[in-house]
Amino acid sequence: MTLASPTDVKTARTAGLLPAGHPAVKQGKVGVMLINLGTPDGIEFAPMWRYLREFLSDPRVIELNKAIWYPILYGLVLTTRPKKSGANYARIWNREKNESPLRSFTRSQAEKLASTLADHANVVVDWAMRYGNPSTASVAQRLVEQGCDRILSFPLYPQYSATTTATANDQLFRALMKIRNAPAIRSVPPYYDEPVYIEALAHSIERHLGTLDFEPEVVIASYHGIPKPYFEKGDPYHCHCLKTTRLLRERLGWDEKKLITTFQSRFGAQEWLQPYTDVTVEKLAKDGVKSIAVVNPGFSVDCIETLDEIGREAAETFHHAGGKNFAHIPCLNDSPEGMAVIEALVRRELSGWV
């Protein structure tokens, strides 16, 4: 038996559709869940420790055997890294809301998407984090309690990787295992080559470069790296990143020397995807390049990796090596261009449901 949505239990019981004592039933709504990577709840040691433990315990993120990795994680990483990471987060922390920019931007994206989807009265938009809060499980439960029997999951990663998109989907399905009346699920696919995404990136770059008092000799498209063995096992991330850069280069009318691809944020001793961003930035300066800009096409919103690692660390590296002009081009965030991408993909994937 399927009830119309939303169903008033008292009316349904009066009509003989529900037996006495039947719990409240809500059905017929469609949930849209924006999922980002995650963020600590605070910059102090304890919340940083909790966040890093959850993140670095994910077997898709660290593919080492637990017998090897856990002694390193608990014996070294979690005793030293929370303090260092907390200091980095402190530099970019949204003091007004007492949260990271990633959380602020993701919430804003969800609020703006809800407004643009107001023409669909049965659509409920929410947002969640793979690691940290609001947790994927809590948001999935909240959507179900609001009557969502279908959920469109949107992992906010343009390029697919098992370390990001896959683990976000893993967490959602883990949550559904604890829900008896689990909703139907769709997941927005990676959008690394979607025309609306490429156009949004190009427009954002053009607009930002137009505000500078210098013209970059080189623009670096810096993506979060993954260990090289993950790529060798079949992760398509590297190919997705290179295609994004190629399409962006074609749209901007630049050559291969003007827009280049690098990879950042490596962690641990093993080799990661190359060329490395920090090494490239330093080499450009030493080779006599005086002006560069860096854009992060793999990040849907600005976060610790873009605002601090690029905006501060990469800039310092470039200047220290002899460079003069450095600019970080903001992520799409909740800008009109960024929201155009999210709305276009959501409306497409909701087809047949609304």
| 27 occurs within a structural domain | no
| 230 occurs within a structural domain | yes
Angle ∠(5,9,15) on CA atoms, nearest 5: 95
The number of residues in the chain equals 354
Q: Is 21 left (phi over 0), alpha (psi -120 to 50) or beta?
A: left
Tell me the per-residue pLDDT of 324-352, one tens digit each, with 9 for 90 and over.
Answer: 999 999 999 999 999 999 999 999 999 99
| 168 occurs within a structural domain | yes
* 29-39 and 123-132 beta bridge pairing: parallel
Tell me if 293 sits within 8 A of 329, measured CB to CB: yes
**CATH number of residue 298's parent domain:** 3.40.50.1400
User: For the chain, how many structural domains are there in total?
Assistant: 2
Q: What are the tokens at 243?
A: 């295609």
Q: What are the tokens at 161?
A: 């990787």
Pair (239, 108) in one structural domain: no
Pair (164, 230) in one structural domain: no
**How high is the pLDDT of residue 269?**
86
* 291-295 and 325-329 beta bridge pairing: parallel
305 is in an annotated binding site: yes
Pair (289, 184) in one structural domain: no
Pair (201, 123) in one structural domain: no
**How high is the pLDDT of residue 212?**
98
| 1 occurs within a structural domain | no
Q: What span, in angstroms and rounded, lies between the C-alpha atoms of 10 and 22? A: 10
**How high is the pLDDT of residue 268?**
86
Pair (58, 178) in one structural domain: yes
* 123-132 and 148-155 beta bridge pairing: unpaired
Cα distances (Å, whole numbers) of residue 69 to 191, 202, 228, 233, 301:
33, 41, 18, 19, 30
Query: Which amino acid is present at 7?
Result: T
Residue 107 sits in which domain range?
A: 33-190+337-349
**Sheet with 259-264: strands ordered across:** 259-264, 218-224, 291-295, 325-329
Residues in the chain, pLDDT under 70? 1-27
| 9 occurs within a structural domain | no
User: pTM for this structure?
Assistant: 0.91
Pair (182, 54) in one structural domain: yes
Pair (310, 345) in one structural domain: no
Count of C-beta atoms within a 10 Å radius of residue 268 = 12
**How high is the pLDDT of residue 225?**
98
Query: Which amino acid is present at 301?
Result: V
Tell me the per-residue pLDDT of 100-137, one tens digit each, with 9 for 90 and over.
Answer: 999 999 999 999 999 999 999 999 999 999 999 999 99
Q: What are the tokens at 312?
A: 């501060």
Is 342 in a helix, a strand, or coil?
helix
Tell me the per-residue pLDDT of 10-34, one tens digit each, with 9 for 90 and over.
Answer: 444 444 565 666 565 566 899 999 9
